[in-house]
Every structure is written in structure tokens, then in C-alpha cells.
Structure 1
Amino acid sequence: MTDQLSQAELVRKSLKRRYRKERRFRAYGIAAIAIALSALVVLFADIVGKGATGFMKTTLDLQVELDGEMMYLDDATDERQLKMADFVEPLVQALLKEIPSATESDRDAVADLINPYASVTLRDALKENPEWLNTTRSMSFLAHTDVDVYVKHAGDDAYSIKLSQQQQRWVDQLVEKGIVETSFNDTFFKNGDSRDPSKAGILGAIIGSLLTMIVTLALSFPIGVAAAIYLEEFAPQNKLTDFIEVNINNLAAVPSIIFGLLGLAVFINLFGMPRSVPVVGGLVLTLMTLPTIIISSRAAIKSVPPSIREAAEGIGASKMQVVLHHVLPLAMPGMLTGSIIGMAQALGETAPLLLIGMVAFIVDVPEGFFDSATVLPVQVFLWAGSPELAFIERASAAIMVLLAFLIGMNALAIWLRKRLERRW
């Protein structure tokens, strides 16, 4: 009886220790998740805090007198006169009228409040509407980058205010009068890159990313699926096949910059293809994405029950018919999911594209696969390393756009998996 009690006591103590360990393990897991979520919240809060103002622009709403004598312009339809005309003076005079405390001697300080590209905006407007000459028009122009930084970040130690005390007082007066306003930054989505932060946009990077992803998808998906079908359904089990499988698995773990070196050596140096074009970028990302697509496609093919193959063969279907008509349609949801995840990984890559020249400063929006282009991650890299602090918010805003694309692609992969998956 005593032995039985002692054994029961040992069992109870053992159970208590086991339960304590389970509770500790559960607490460790909850703590790990909490730490990960906290880090994610801090990261997103920092990005959103810095990038939210990147979606806002600062403008000057002015009554501009388009005096031909002031601009040295007689005919607004004459291209030669338009090139030689002075489109800065009307802007300066319009701004001087809105600042009563400013005198003609303050002309240079007042001119520094106007964006350098405002004169180009005025010239283009007059070129499209020649009848505006010698009239007064209400027009909106981008403010100077220093004004934009002051309006949005005054008092923020992370940004240095370059305006003088007098210029800051003028800007405050213009804000009170409604001359200086902030609004949604459509310029950010309509322009390519620029040396001026207030004029810089991500349209060129978005189009470059889209063209590069089209090339990557057009090559990596059919090649990856075909390779997976061959290795899983047709390839004999021998040393060569084992060697190929091992290398595919190893390639999935190779650092992405190695694929950039391969693309530089093969596509550019050996084949002489142009640098910084979406076609070369797509080829490099195809090499990087193929292992992921092959591995996920093979897993999807393996998940198809053998009974499907046996039933198809039992009614006289050939091996090719079994694969194309039965196995491939049932495995396609998993293949699509893996391909989308691989494409999302490729969309966020920077290192391989830097080596093939897509780090170049590209102002024009690419129109084709062989036009010079950059991509969103590289654009973020360029802006983050810029000496202009005003590019900080542009880089953070571009990161937000990139994250939106990545989250959207992963959400699409999850939706396709839930929508198309079959349960056996």
C-alpha cells in the first residue's frame, strides 16, 4: 500500500513538472509572438510616421500677371521666343504682392521660396494657351523644397530648416492668407525621379517594376512548372536526377547578389545586352525565382493523390494525358500560390539589380522593355542614400507603396489557395 502511494505521489509530481514546463513553453511562445508583433508595429509606425507627409505637397496659389513686356515675349506661339523669355519674373512679382513686408531688395530671398520648376510650369501653360498672354491668371505652383520641409516639419529635429528667419515669417504669413497650402501629392505618382525632392515621383519606378515583373513571370512560370512536371512525373530516378534536385534546393538558398553577378557576366558582358533595362532585370530575377517556383510546383504535384493517376490510367489515358488533363489542373492552385510568392520576393529584390545597372538615375518614364528603367526597391535605395533630407519622406512613402504591393500579392496568393484548393 505504501509503495502504491509513493508511486502515485511520484506520478503527481511528474505531472506537475510537466504542466509547469508546458505553461512555461506556452508563455515563451506568447512572449516571442508579442515581441515580433511589437517590432512589426514599431517598424510600420516609423515608416508611416516618416512617409505619410510624402503623400502631401506644398503649393503656392498666385495671381500671375502674364505681362509680355516683363517676360520679353511678344508672341506666345513662337518657339524661339518661348525659349528666351523670362518666366521667373512674373512669379516673383506675384509673390511680392502677397508679402507686404517684402521690398524689391528682398527679391532674391522671395524668389528662393518658388520651386525652380515653377517657371517651366508657367512656360508650358502659356505654350498650351497662347491667348493668356497679357492677362492675369490664378495658377498653382510647387513651393520650393525648403518651404515644403518648413511647412511640414517645422520643429522636427530630424529635418534641418534652411529658410532664414525672415523667410519663415513670410511663409507663415502666406499660410495664414491661404497662399501656401498642402494637398495630396499627385506629383509623387505622376513623375519619374528628380534631383528636386518636391518634383520627384515613383511612376518611373512603378512602370519599371511592372515591366520587369512581366518578363520574370513570362519566363519563370512556364519554365518552372515544366521543370517540376518533368522531375516529378517523367524523370528517371538516377544520380543525374538526384544531382539536379540537390542543386535546385541549393540554388533556393543562394544569396540574391550572386544572381546579379551571374547576370552581369552572362547577359551583359557575354551577350552584350544593354544595362539598366527591364529585360535584363527580368532575366536575372527569373534565375533567382525559378528554384522557388520549381520547389513549390513539385510540392503541389506531390499533393495530388495517386488514385487520380491510377483512375485516369485505368480508363486508357496516356502518361501525358494523365499529367495535362488531371494532375496539372489539380496542382495548379499550389503552383500559382508558389509563383505569386516567388514574384513577391522578386519584386522586393535590390541587390541583383544594382549589379546590372538599374541603380542609374532615371528621369524619364520607361515605355518599353528595352528603355532604361529602375524599380521600386532601387528607387528607395537611391533616395535613402541622398544627402537631401527631404528625400527621407519620399523614401518612406515609396516603402509604403512597395509594402502595399507585396501585401497585395501575398493576399492574392492566400485567396487563390483558399479559393481553388481541393480537399481529399
Structure 2
Amino acid sequence: MTDAATTPPDPAAIRRPVLTGPHLARRYAAERRFRLYGLAGIAFAGLMLLLLVGSIVQKGYSAFWQTYMEIEVAFPAVQTLNPDGGAPTEEQIRRSDYLTPLRDALKEQFPEAAGDRKQRRMLYGLVSPGADLALRDMVLADRSLLGRRASVWIKVSDDVDSLAKGHIRRDVPEANRRINDTELGWFDTLDKAGRIEARFNVDLFTHGDSREPVEAGIYGALMGSILTLTVTLLVSFPIGVMAAVYLEEFAPKNRLTDVIEVNINNLAAVPSIVFGLLGLAVFLNFFGLPRSAPLVGGLVLALMTLPTIIIAARSALKAVPPSIREAALGLGASPLQVVTHHVLPLAMPGILTGTIIGMAQALGETAPLLMIGMVAFIVDIPQGFTDPATVLPVQIYLWADSPERAFVERTSAAILVLLGFLVVMNALAVLLRKRFERRW
């Protein structure tokens, strides 16, 4: 007798809906529309990204170039710096007056402005406010300039620099220009004589912040970001990895661990400014750590980055096949040896990827650092973790709030540098995953 449960069904008895004719055409049309909607969404997002990046590049690329003018300066004599005779000391060179020789050189270049006080003031405004300090640095680098006349290249002021870059239009009335006709004539005279030149703006990467746009640079903020992220990495990476290993490999599955997991997932969605308030209340007010220091900023960003690293590390640990653990245990390895020698090395690419993404997120944060005082105007370059400092996002915020037109291009240039760092960090995360990822 044949078992009815094992008897194959009659194919004729199976009734399936068959799409033919208009039904099949409508289904294919719906699929085509769905693909078109997806492509349209991607194209729109790409267009918006291009517009955003294009706008930043269009405003900021000129900050990577600086306009210089050539003038002939009579440097102070040795006897002027050291009346007692002999070679002047470094302190005497630093204290010497370089503003007067600079102004005399400008009056020699345009003698028609020497007799009028207002025109002299405009003439002196052609060069940057730090031009006399640039002359001092030249003498410190080459003391043979003392007592000689030499042609030197000096940075122009921010208004003249904007004129040279085309940010100040010539075809508008004089009353609506920051450069009047007299200053425009002086600039054209120097330009025709070949005394105006655009050079790569090295000072943008070697100077700290300044009230003068032409002297402002991102070096101080860049060092502050490096020091802050160093603290963030040293604190968040080991704690995050150890927490993930414990929760995934050793922690018992009970109500307490469930509460911890839920809170970790919730912390990943907490607004960043809340971590700033926590840092203000705990690290500054309770522990008394210095304000506006990379140490405090790094600790705050570490708290913010920890949930991201823990979640990424747990996902990487889950991706390791159970057979790896079972084989190691079967060969006599202890649970700690299994995790240390087998599971963790295999999960490390995913852990590193999550860590780099978390660090990239921390690099772009501003709100929590504003709460701990890293919004202060910092001119000096930080040398340690407790020195006053700022970071690139905060520097961008400060420059964006400045009324000078020349700060607009420096703001955009700093954004480009920040975006470059973020792209490099995300590319590094992708390369690490591609390089070390294993498939089972």
C-alpha cells in the first residue's frame, strides 16, 4: 500500500496564477519605474553633493595662494642694533625697529604719497600688518642683510590680496569698493612693473590663528585636532574592544546584560552636545581639568565614540564562524585563549574599520567641544595635551563668524582640509577591510 504522505502531488492539480499579456507588462513596467526612481534618487544626491563641494572649492581654492609684492628695503645697520659694537645678539635683532625701514621703502616707491598723512596711511596699508615681523625673520635667517639694501617679497594686505584674486570688482563705484582709486593705481603700477606675484600660501599650514586674515593659518587647529584625536583613540579603542569582547564572548545572557546592550545602542543616538555637557560637569567642574585642552576634548570625544566602537566590534566578533571557537576549544584552548589567539585577530579588520569611522565622526564634531571651552581664540601652537588649543571644526566656526571678506576663503579652505582628512580616514577603513577581510 502506498503511503499518501509520500505520494508526489499531481502537477495538474497545482494551480498557479500565470501572468500573461497585460499582467506581465504591468509588472515589468513597475520594476522599470522602481529602478528609475532609485537612479533618480542617486543622481539627485550626487548632484547636491557636487553643488556643495563645488561651492566650497570655488570659494576656498584661492586661499591656497597668497599675493606678494616686491619692495627694496634698507635694513638697519649693525651699529643701530648694537651701539656697543660687535655682532648684535638675537634678542637685539628681535627688538629692533623694522617698521620704519618698511615704511621708508614704501614712500620711496611712491614719493607722491609722502607729503599727505591720509595717503601715507593708505600706502602703509598695502602690506600685511605682519610685514615688519617678516623682515625681522629674514634678518634672523640671514644676518648679512644688516646694513644692506635688498629687494624682498612681502605679503600684501587682505584687501589687496582680495583685489589680486578678483574678489573685489573694479567696475563698481569707488564708494562701494574697499580699495579706492588711489590704492588701485598703486597696485596697477606695481603689477605692471612685475612686483606683484602669487605664491603658494605656506603660512596657511604653518601659522596659528590671527585677527588678520592674511596672517591666519590652520596649523594650531590642526595640531589641536591631532592631540585631541590621540587622546580619543587611546581611551576609546581599548575600552571599546574590551567591552565588546566581554559582552559578546563572556557575559551571561541575563536582564543586566540586556539593559547594558540597550543603553549602548541608545548612547549611539544621543546628540553630541549632551556629551559636551557631561564633560563640562564631570571633567571640568568636578575633576578640575584645564579648559580648552586636548586632554578634556579627547575624553569627551572618547565617550561619544565608545558606542560606535562597541557596536562595530560586537558585529565583527559575531561574524567569526562558531567553528573557529569550537575547533580551538576542542584542541584544549581556554576560552580566553580562544578569544585572544583566534577570534580577536580574525575580527580585528572589522573592529579597526568601526574605530576609524568613529574617529572620523569625532574629527568633525564641534558642539561637545564648544561646551568645554575649545571655542577660545588660540594663537599659540599647542605643544602638549594640557595646553590651550582648538580643533579644525571649531576653527572653521570661528572664521565663519568673522566679518572680514578674506576669512570667507580661509573658512572654505579649512573645510576642504577637513574633508580631505575625512576622505582619507574613510578610505583607510575601506582598504583595511578589503585587505584583511576573510570569507568562510
Contact kept in structure 2, 1:221 and 1:293, CA below 8 Å: yes
Are residues 389 and 313 of structure 1, via their aligned partners in 2, closer, same or farther at CA, if it must alter by over 3 Å? same
Contact kept in structure 2, 1:188 and 1:200, CA below 8 Å: yes
Counterpart residue number, 1:12:
21
> Are 1:329 and 2:345 matched, yes or no?
yes
**Residue 159 of structure 2: which of 142, 146, 171 is its match?**
146
* Counterparts of 1:217 and 1:10, CA distance in 2: 58
> Are 1:240 and 2:256 matched, yes or no?
yes
Counterpart residue number, 2:325:
309
Q: Deviations over 1:320-347 (max 9, x none)?
A: 0111011001000000000000000000
> Are 1:32 and 2:48 matched, yes or no?
no
Q: Deviations over 1:305-330 (max 9, x none)?
A: 00001111111111001110110010
Matches within 5 A, 1:189-338: 189-338=205-354
Are residues 233 and 113 of structure 1, via their aligned partners in 2, closer, same or farther at CA, if it must alter by over 3 Å? same
What is the DSSP-based 3-state SS (H/G/I as helix, E as strand, rest coil) of the residue aligned with 2:152? Answer: strand
Contact kept in structure 2, 1:99 and 1:174, CA below 8 Å: no
AA paired with 1:45? G
1:52 CA displacement: 0.3
Contact kept in structure 1, 2:98 and 2:135, CA below 8 Å: yes
> Are 1:61 and 2:70 matched, yes or no?
yes
Q: Deviations over 1:273-316 (max 9, x none)?
A: 11100010000000000000000000000000000011111111
Aligned residues: 417
* Counterparts of 1:67 and 1:224, CA distance in 2: 61
Moved more, 119-128 or 304-313: 119-128
Q: Deviations over 1:40-95 (max 9, x none)?
A: 00011100000100101111222111255998985772678667754223222322
* Counterparts of 2:64 and 2:112, CA distance in 1: 32
* Counterparts of 1:396 and 1:119, CA distance in 2: 28
1:139 CA displacement: 1.6
AA paired with 1:141? I
* Counterparts of 1:165 and 1:349, CA distance in 2: 45
* Counterparts of 1:419 and 1:72, CA distance in 2: 62
* Counterparts of 1:28 and 1:88, CA distance in 2: 66
Counterpart residue number, 2:99:
88
Moved more, 47-56 or 90-99: 90-99
Counterpart residue number, 2:10:
none
* Counterparts of 2:414 and 2:307, CA distance in 1: 29
Contact kept in structure 1, 2:159 and 2:179, CA below 8 Å: yes
Matches within 5 A, 1:309-388: 309-388=325-404
> Are 1:412 and 2:428 matched, yes or no?
yes
What is the DSSP-based 3-state SS (H/G/I as helix, E as strand, rest coil) of the residue aligned with 2:435? Answer: helix
Contact kept in structure 2, 1:71 and 1:86, CA below 8 Å: no
Could you say what the CA RMSD is over the residues aligned between the two structures, in angstroms?
A: 2.4
**Residue 178 of structure 1: which of 173, 185, 194 is its match?**
194
Are residues 322 and 383 of structure 1, via their aligned partners in 2, closer, same or farther at CA, if it must alter by over 3 Å? same
AA paired with 2:239? I
* Counterparts of 1:143 and 1:228, CA distance in 2: 56
Counterpart residue number, 1:77:
88
Are residues 91 and 70 of structure 1, via their aligned partners in 2, closer, same or farther at CA, if it must alter by over 3 Å? farther
Are residues 319 and 123 of structure 1, via their aligned partners in 2, closer, same or farther at CA, if it must alter by over 3 Å? same
What is the DSSP-based 3-state SS (H/G/I as helix, E as strand, rest coil) of the residue aligned with 1:63? Answer: strand
Query: Where does structure 1 lack aligned partners over 5 or more consecutive residues?
Result: 1-6
Counterpart residue number, 2:135:
122
Name the larger-Rg structure: 2
What is the DSSP-based 3-state SS (H/G/I as helix, E as strand, rest coil) of the residue aligned with 2:390? Answer: coil
What is the DSSP-based 3-state SS (H/G/I as helix, E as strand, rest coil) of the residue aligned with 1:11? Answer: coil
* Counterparts of 1:38 and 1:125, CA distance in 2: 48
Are residues 70 and 173 of structure 1, via their aligned partners in 2, closer, same or farther at CA, if it must alter by over 3 Å? farther
AA paired with 1:25? F
Counterpart residue number, 2:126:
113
1:13 CA displacement: 2.0
Contact kept in structure 1, 2:107 and 2:114, CA below 8 Å: yes
* Counterparts of 1:376 and 1:67, CA distance in 2: 40
Are residues 361 and 418 of structure 1, via their aligned partners in 2, closer, same or farther at CA, if it must alter by over 3 Å? same
Are residues 295 and 95 of structure 1, via their aligned partners in 2, closer, same or farther at CA, if it must alter by over 3 Å? same
Are residues 156 and 362 of structure 1, via their aligned partners in 2, closer, same or farther at CA, if it must alter by over 3 Å? farther
Counterpart residue number, 2:169:
155
Matches within 5 A, 1:99-110: 99=110, 102-105=113-116, 106-110=119-123
Contact kept in structure 1, 2:353 and 2:432, CA below 8 Å: yes
1:17 CA displacement: 1.5
* Counterparts of 1:226 and 1:42, CA distance in 2: 43
Contact kept in structure 2, 1:64 and 1:90, CA below 8 Å: yes
> Are 1:187 and 2:219 matched, yes or no?
no
Contact kept in structure 2, 1:70 and 1:86, CA below 8 Å: no
Moved more, 357-366 or 59-68: 59-68
1:97 CA displacement: 3.3
